Amino acid sequence: MKKYETIFIVKPSVDEETVNSVIDKFKGIIENDGGVIENVDFWGKRKLAYEIEKFNEGYYTLINFSSNPELPKELDRIFRITDSVIRHIIVNDEK
């Protein structure tokens, strides 16, 4: 299993309950595919460095996890089709 980290930004127009459900959704996807979540860090609402989809703010979340190499591909696909996520990145965490 390799270590990864993902950061994603949820639209600021959704309520806190929806943000929490999106975080739980991605935690569930990681755990259901055999991944192990090491850390979930919710940063809250932050100002974006530049405008994305006409939004200047977003809810940031960082998740560190270990999984097989196929899981990040599936996670990326689900990030792309989730309407409330405006930006995401998944990187190999080799420290």
Establish if 27 belongs to a structural domain: yes
Establish if 28 belongs to a structural domain: yes
Establish if 93 belongs to a structural domain: no
Q: Which structural domain, as residue segments, surrounds residue 12? A: 2-53+71-86
Q: What does the pLDDT average to over 57-84? A: 95
Establish if 63 belongs to a structural domain: no
CATH number at residue 13: 3.30.70.60
| CB of 63 closer than 8 Å to CB of 27 | yes
pLDDT digits (tens, 9 = 90+) for 37-62: 999 999 999 999 999 999 999 999 99
State pTM to two decimals: 0.91
Establish if 62 belongs to a structural domain: no
Establish if 38 belongs to a structural domain: yes
| CB of 9 closer than 8 Å to CB of 85 | yes
Residue 93 pLDDT: 84
Please give the tally of structural domains in the chain: 1
Q: What does the pLDDT average to over 72-91? A: 95
